[in-house]
Amino acid sequence: MSKKKQQTIAKRNRERAIEEKRRLKRERKQAQREAIRNGEPWPAPDADEEDELRPNLNAPDLPTPPVAADANGTSES
């Protein structure tokens, strides 16, 4: 008698995320095909969406934590 392994919730969530991504891509391509077929210009991706995906390299650095003092009360800088 063979036992089925129980699927983890994390694996199921990953699979759902992949399917959602694929579905959105299919919808986007379909919208592009319809726009081209109707003679409409296909818009470039929104700058807002691209900015959300990119790390902000111009963000200020986080403050550095203070250096802990040693047993004599002096800092090691």
Kindly give the confidence (pLDDT) of every residue in the chain, 77 residues in length, as a single tens digit, with 9 standing for 90 and above: 667 788 899 999 999 999 999 999 999 999 999 999 998 887 755 555 555 556 666 666 666 666 666 666 665 55
Q: What is the pTM of this model?
A: 0.46
As for how many domains the chain has, the answer is: 1
Q: Which of 62, 58, 26, 32 shows the shortest CA–CA distance to 45?
A: 32
- Whether residue 74 lies inside any domain: the answer is no
Domain that residue 27 falls in? 8-39
- Whether residue 51 lies inside any domain: the answer is no
pLDDT (0 to 100) of residue 12: 94
Pair of tokens at residue 63? 């403050």
Spatial distance between the Cα atoms of 29 and 36, rounded to a whole number of angstroms: 11
Location of structure tokens 């995906």: 53
pLDDT (0 to 100) of residue 40: 85
Longest dimension (CA), the chain: 78
- Whether residue 50 lies inside any domain: the answer is no
- Whether residue 72 lies inside any domain: the answer is no
- Whether residue 56 lies inside any domain: the answer is no
- Whether residue 31 lies inside any domain: the answer is yes
- Whether residue 15 lies inside any domain: the answer is yes
